[in-house]
């Protein structure tokens, strides 16, 4: 599909908001635990979406779809945000965004099992290159154990996000991007109520800087990019929509330097470049296959 001005604008908006989330998360972690930060972020987003749902008279989901909506919300929001937040305790914002950009690789692997797509030689090579870059990123940190734990958690977030993206198509078609994202975030927020105990203590001592960060996270990177991603997925497919993730790390590294004075090491920069090259190589010949698969599903 030919990219129009509106589609290009939506890609830029999604990239900018998602890139800003990674350094802002680290600001929020100054006052919140990773679990509480995710819970408050999703709670703010849920309230905003509740207002939108009432204003638009949003229909309720069919009972038969609720289990899948809850499952996708749990993976795409609960697991994603919790794992990412914990990972960012030991992984820099720029590297975290780079690791999340491996989501299309996981999506390609999932497509083998879900849609019987071909995973050719180029994609296997690209995956191996990305893995080599991730290994280099791991050894770029002085505290090796913390680095491994953080990287694995961020990769878990990427895997959860890839499942969310790949498996949302039928529900997107049925409910539309606004309703689907709303149901997903509500379901994720409900599942995070287990983290409610202890939140009042953190709120009592929250800094102004962290308060602004969590409000920003709840209002902007949580709601808007997911709606844009869902809309783009419905228009151009999951693989083409996810390609925006390739550009997110560069902006995240810049914002991390601007907001946190976080300067990556030479090894981290080299590892990041290798990982991103692997992701690009994996995705480079996916377009024709994805279009064929999408046509088959729609029939």
CB-facing half-sphere around the CA of 59: CA atoms within 13 A? 9
pLDDT at 89: 93
pLDDT at 246: 67
Q: Which pair of tokens denotes residue 49?
A: 């979406």
C-alpha closest to that of 93 among 266, 258, 267: 258
pLDDT at 158: 93
Q: How far apart are the first and last CA of the chain?
A: 18
Residue 285 has pLDDT above 60, yes or no: no
Cβ neighbors of 207 (< 8 A, separation 6 or more) are: 30, 31
Q: Which pair of tokens denotes residue 141?
A: 């940190």
Q: Is 76:217 a contact under the CB 8 Å cutoff?
A: no
CA–CA separation, 116 and 109 (whole Å):
10
% of the chain beyond a pLDDT of 70: 85
Q: Label residue 238 by pLDDT band (50, 70, 90).
A: low
Residue 24 has pLDDT above 90, yes or no: yes
Cβ neighbors of 165 (< 8 A, separation 6 or more) are: 76, 103, 107, 229, 233, 238, 241, 242
pLDDT at 297: 31
Task: Identify the DSSP state of 286.
Answer: -
Q: Is 143:151 a contact under the CB 8 Å cutoff?
A: no
pLDDT at 129: 82
Average pLDDT rounded to a whole number, residues 207-226: 93
Average pLDDT rounded to a whole number, residues 16-25: 94
Residue 294 has pLDDT above 90, yes or no: no
Top pLDDT among 232 and 69 is at 69
C-alpha closest to that of 22 among 271, 261, 248: 248
User: What total number of domains does the chain contain?
Assistant: 1
Instruction: State the CB neighbour count (10 A cutoff) for residue 13.
Output: 15
pLDDT at 144: 55
Expressed as residue numbers, the domain containing 105 is 5-298
pLDDT at 206: 94
Of 40-44, 265-269, 278-282, give the range with the top mean pLDDT. 40-44
Residue 21 has pLDDT above 90, yes or no: yes
59-63, 133-137, 202-206, 229-233: lowest mean pLDDT where?
133-137
pLDDT at 293: 39
pLDDT tens-digit readout, 254-269: 888 888 888 777 777 7
Average pLDDT rounded to a whole number, residues 44-73: 95
pLDDT at 75: 96
Residue 32, classed as helix, strand or coil, is coil
CA–CA separation, 287 and 280 (whole Å):
12
Q: Label residue 66 by pLDDT band (50, 70, 90).
A: very high
């Amino acid at each position: 599909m030919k990219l129009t001005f509106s589609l290009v604008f939506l890609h830029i908006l999604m990239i900018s908001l998602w890139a800003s989330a990674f350094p802002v998360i680290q600001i929020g972690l100054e006052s919140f635990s990773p679990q509480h930060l995710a819970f408050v972020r999703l709670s703010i987003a849920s309230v905003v979406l509740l207002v939108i749902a009432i204003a638009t008279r949003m229909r309720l989901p069919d009972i038969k779809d609720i289990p899948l909506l809850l499952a996708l919300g749990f993976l795409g929001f609960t697991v994603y945000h919790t794992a990412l937040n914990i990972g960012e305790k030991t992984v820099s914002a720029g590297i975290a965004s780079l690791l999340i950009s491996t989501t299309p690789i996981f999506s390609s692997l999932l497509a083998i099992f879900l849609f019987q797509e071909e995973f050719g030689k180029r994609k296997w090579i690209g995956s191996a290159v990305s893995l080599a870059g991730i290994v280099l990123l791991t050894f770029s940190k002085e505290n090796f154990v913390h680095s491994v734990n953080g990287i694995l958690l961020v990769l878990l977030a990427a895997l959860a996000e890839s499942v969310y993206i790949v498996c949302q198509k039928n529900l997107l078609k049925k409910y539309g991007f606004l309703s689907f994202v709303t149901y997903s975030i509500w379901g994720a927020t409900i599942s995070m109520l287990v983290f409610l105990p202890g939140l009042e203590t953190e709120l009592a001592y929250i800094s102004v800087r962290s308060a602004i960060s969590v409000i920003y996270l709840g209002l902007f990177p949580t709601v808007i990019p997911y709606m844009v991603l869902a809309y783009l997925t419905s228009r151009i497919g999951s693989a083409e929509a996810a390609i925006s993730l390739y550009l997110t790390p560069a902006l995240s590294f810049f914002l991390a330097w601007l907001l946190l004075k976080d300067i990556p090491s030479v090894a981290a920069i080299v590892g990041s470049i290798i990982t991103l090259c692997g992701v690009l190589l994996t995705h480079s010949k996916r377009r024709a296959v994805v279009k064929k698969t999408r046509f088959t599903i729609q029939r």
